[in-house]
Amino acid sequence: MFTGIVNGIATIVSIDKKKTHYRYTVKLPSILSRNLKLGDSIAHNGCCLTVKFINNVYIICDVINETLKSTNLGILNVGDHVNIERSVKYGDEIGGHIISGHVMNTAEICKILKLDDNCIIWLKMKNPLLMKYIFYKGFICVDGISLTVGDIIGNEFCVNIIPHTFLFTTIKNKKNKSLMNIEIDFYTQTIVDTTERLINKNIKYVL
């Protein structure tokens, strides 16, 4: 379980591309490797991965084909940076919102509007069917960052990026057409799906 508050930025140092999965070696900031154990969960761009090997600040995680297809991890190259969040522990502060680390799909950046000391990023969902879960002022997780939906137009939505988030995440390196991992808020998804089932059930009874 995660909160969408990025702890730091890590660097991809090697990618071993196997038939059924990729094996990533990542260099963590030293503070994020403290007390890290084999089997721990750690989010890469919002995607929950399991630590397979640890050597000081270097860790190895496997990424299966399904994850490679539905996230932006499959297009990473050696030298690229990823947002890192250690899993939340009992008693930790929840600064963002509850995130599972199960990325649903990606969205493409279609516009970046830079203001005085922040910016607005417009994204277009790759799967337009997921737009039913996007609500004005609702929670959204973008590349592991807990954000709030600022506006919605058709299959596009925007998020506002404050200076701290811009400086201390990979957002600052993104450009138009960059793919971002998207995790929909679980509670919003549950409410929408439950409401749809109830409406469809009542329609069948009426008919």
Residues 87-128 pLDDT 10s: 987 777 777 888 999 999 999 999 999 887 789 999 999 999
**Domain total for the chain?**
2
Looking at the structure, tell me whether residues 111 and 38 fall in a common domain: no
In a domain, 3, yes or no: no
Give CA torsion, residues 171, 176, 179, 183, to 10 deg: 60
Looking at the structure, tell me whether residues 174 and 120 fall in a common domain: yes
- Separation between Cα atoms, residue 24 and residue 51, nearest integer Å: 10
Q: Of 61, 68, 72, which Cα lies nearest the Cα of 109? A: 72
Residues 146-188 pLDDT 10s: 999 999 999 899 999 999 999 999 999 999 999 999 999 888 8
Range of the domain at 22: 8-86
Looking at the structure, tell me whether residues 13 and 78 fall in a common domain: yes
Looking at the structure, tell me whether residues 82 and 140 fall in a common domain: no
Looking at the structure, tell me whether residues 79 and 151 fall in a common domain: no
Looking at the structure, tell me whether residues 62 and 116 fall in a common domain: no
Query: Does the pTM of the predicted model rise above 0.75?
Result: yes
